[in-house]
Structure 1
Amino acid sequence: MTQHRIPSSLLTDVPPLEVRTVTLAINVGDLAERTLHPLCDAMYQRVLARSQAFVAACGTVAADYGIPILQRRVYVTPLERIAEGFGPEDLVNIARTLDGAAANAHLDLIGGYFVRAAQAMSSTSRQMIAALPAILAQTDRVQTAVEAASRPAGVNLDVVELLGHKVKEAAAATADRSGIGAAYLGVLANVPPDGPPVAGSCPSDGWGELTVHVSVSAMGPIQQAVKQRLQDDPRASLATLSGDIKTAAFQATRIAEVIGRAIARQLGADFGRVDLSLAPTIRSGQTITELLQLLGVSKFGSPGTAAALLLVLSSVKAGGAFASADIASDVSILLPVLRDSGLVSATEAGSLAVEHLARLSAVGAQGLDLIPVPGDTTPATLSAVMADQLASAVVNGRMTVVRLVPVPGKSAGERVSFGRGLGDGVVLPLPSSDDAALIHRSGRIPPLG
């Protein structure tokens, strides 16, 4: 086997590197069968064959370059078009077909069950949303998403009200697994047409049959760079630290693109976008909280948190933009509470609440992501929290994700353990009030204009 090497100029003073995710988007729009079983069979065969080739290519390229790939994902597109004419039970079977193909191909996740409903709900959208609780209860790897708001359209409150019920139903249907089904339903705003694939959404129109997207894993290199600088100069200025973050982001981005393009070549696929979004993991040295503490924030959620996040985001975006011409249009900082051990510690210490996380979306955080909330939270309260976050997204125009997990039988402050790579967490309280009056008013909140 030929051992390819990353240019040494990209490896200088960089800790062990990795790629966060490689995603293969598979176009299934030409599957014309309108009978359920032939459609499922054709979809299964296509997704399985191409996913197996994709997983093999990821393994080969990772070994050749000596760069680990943390997650391998597939998104099918445009599933909403395929779903036309099918009812909820049929859609559950389609989702189970995708889940089976993903399991047999050893994928970490399969997405594309994505509903666009920021303007209004079509009959297909309603059927797809109605099927969500059963899909999330009967699959292990299927990530679903609904776009309920956008800057041009405003907030579709009809969809938001319905989704409060579906999140609650998904959690109840998976009560034996701490309500984990709700963690695989993302409520989105401002989904960019060019990607990257995020939380179940997937760009569709304008792409080819197979497209490879790649996500940068820059948290480790950035922390290493900042640590090294502070060891050499404990009083380093923000400009100096920003420069170090830019350099680390540049190196991580170049390496991720090299890996992504190599996989695309092996598959005969197009290369799509590089996602620069900064994401933590549950491992030490890979959390946003540790990085902010290095920069001088005493604890996550305390004064200075938003300013430090802006410094990190602007530096990462600038460094990545120099490294690649194919950067995704939306670059964010992901704050998934269940995937960041530092955020879990901050919630335990009482320095972090849902309100803090909501405010951070103004400086580039990607919404309220993977947040466990009390199991007795009403659907109206869930919808109201979603509506607030989506309203902010309409104003600032940024991609936003809301994934709330009402944990059956758990109250605020209690610990909860999830499987499937989500780690442990602490249930966060939500403000106690009667939110039903606003949420039950039908219609759409218009954009600013």
Structure 2
Amino acid sequence: MASALLHKLHLALEKRLPERRLFLRSDTETRFIRLRSSTQLIALVGVTAVGAWTLVATSILLMDSLSSGNIREQVKRDQFMYEAQLNKLSAERDMRAQEAASAHMRFSVALEEISDMQERLLASEDKRREVETGLEVVQTTLRDAIKERDLARKAAEELQLALAETEAAEPETHRLAEVENTVAFLSEALRDTASERDHMQAYATDADDYIAELRLESRLKDERNDLIFSKLEEAMTVSIAPMDKMFRNAGLNVDNLIDQVRRGYSGQGGPLTPLEFTVTDGEEDVAEGMRANSILERLDEMNIYRIAASKAPFDVPVKSAFRFTSGFGPRWGRMHNGTDFAASYGTPIYATGDGVVIHAGWQSGYGRLVKIQHEFGIETRYAHMAKIRVSKGQRVSRGDRIGDMGNSGRSTGTHLHYEVRVGGKPVNPMNYIKAARDVF
């Protein structure tokens, strides 16, 4: 039955694909190739399969090409949006820098005014104390003069009684003259004492008025000082809060950072030295002094933040126009440990913080590479340079030019590969750049 079915199938196939012969003739002989129905069927199936495979492969390639074009367009749109965002952040950074400089200038002027007012207040306090001491001396002298006046009046009355008794008992002329001289002397002393008393009373009245005026002036100065202190405290809060936020957003331990800077800058003296007070100072002076010391401590803290900010890489390594081409993270199945900035060949590259150059030369993959060691265990790397402008061991500051942008090492075009490492571990450089946008 199976053979009969195969025979029928062969007959049907011969109807569709009859046997053919392909003749090959040469000069001496003629040969032919028999193409059976089954051979023709196999060839036809093979040709059809090849054609179908070609059609499918062409479709896949065409779809992949269209998809790649859409991805490139999307990448271009994302890059344009990111560049616009970077330009906006740069403008905001410049504005914040101007505001910080203006606040610092206003703070310096206010601090000078406080110093001048404190000197004048201390001078007025010394003068007031002198006046009070003089007033006490005048009052003591006046009380003594009144006592002497009363004693002189009592003595005069006794002498007048004695004179009357003497006139009745002793009519001698020389005795009467002596008594009259004594009475005249006492009368003159009484007039002088009365005149001095009136003068002292007038002086005491003037002194009371002057003391009242000094107290009013002191109260007005206290109110003005309180207003200035309030403004300074507000300025300190507004100035320190963004810097504290900047360090925390960058992932740095603020407390350890402040302790480390304070240990490195531990000298004392100058305008930021705390004020000292003794038990003889008034309660108001001590309270104002404590408030001034609090402001000085906040000012010292802001100064520490300023020093720390200069030593950490809170800046952009490229100041000219650039295009952000690749960020931190996985790329093509590998980890990209930095951020890429593309610009024209030879564009200046700047240090993003104070530090010491620990490498300046060629390194495999990086090409011409500069490594800068900063404080707090932070290291920055600048790769693929065209020219290096610093040497190993050189100390650089933020904004110093360290090289030119190029295409050395494993690179597909002119750009800067910028890395930030903390404790040897790479971190996203944009954390530092974004954290500083409201401060610098």
Q: TM-score range by the shorter chain?
A: under 0.3
**Larger of the two Rg values belongs to structure:** 2
Superposition TM-score, scaled by structure 2 size: 0.21
Superposition TM-score, scaled by structure 1 size: 0.21
